[in-house]
Amino acid sequence: METQAPDLQDVMKRLEKLEKQNRRLRLWSICGVIALGVILVVLIGAVCEALGPLRDYPYLRNAEARSVLITYGDGPWYAKLDFEGLALRDAQGRIRVLLGGEGLALFDDDYQPRLEFFDVEGNVIWSAPQ
């Protein structure tokens, strides 16, 4: 059984046919991408038209404030975040945590600085100052 080398003209015909198919595939791909883009723009426009202007949806806008206070009813604030830092109070109104330009401060019941680490059962495993 002998194998023959393909004729040069046959190879050229195959190559031309392949290039033609490749050009056609590229053309259809570009048309498909353009069609999908148009459909996407139309759908986005329809959704925006259905939603109406964003001013009707205040939760979609950014919130801007000089400070944020977390309170319970009409009582004192429990957390305060502003340009000076963050402050956290306990239920009795005592400041427990201050985080600001001077650093981080943690306080115990006597308003003395204290840092404690607890295990999963709630027992103190490390404390500073000792």
The verdict on residue 107 lying in a domain is yes
Amino acid at 105: A
The verdict on residue 61 lying in a domain is no
Q: Is the model's pTM score more than 0.85?
A: no
Alpha carbons within 13 angstroms on the beta-carbon side of residue 40 total: 6
Are both 52 and 77 inside the same structural domain?
Answer: no
- At CA 41, angle to CA 37 and CA 45, rounded to 5? 170
User: For the chain, how many structural domains are there in total?
Assistant: 2
The verdict on residue 1 lying in a domain is no
The verdict on residue 89 lying in a domain is yes
d(CA 105, CA 124): 19
Are both 122 and 80 inside the same structural domain?
Answer: yes
Query: What is the pLDDT, as a whole number, of residue 17?
Result: 92
Query: What is the pLDDT, as a whole number, of residue 16?
Result: 92
Are both 73 and 121 inside the same structural domain?
Answer: yes
Domain that holds residue 115: 67-128
Alpha carbons within 13 angstroms on the beta-carbon side of residue 8 total: 0
The verdict on residue 80 lying in a domain is yes
d(CA 22, CA 29): 10
User: What would the pLDDT profile of 76-116 be if each residue is shown by its tens digit?
Assistant: 788 888 888 888 888 888 888 888 766 777 777 777 777 77
Alpha carbons within 13 angstroms on the beta-carbon side of residue 32 total: 6
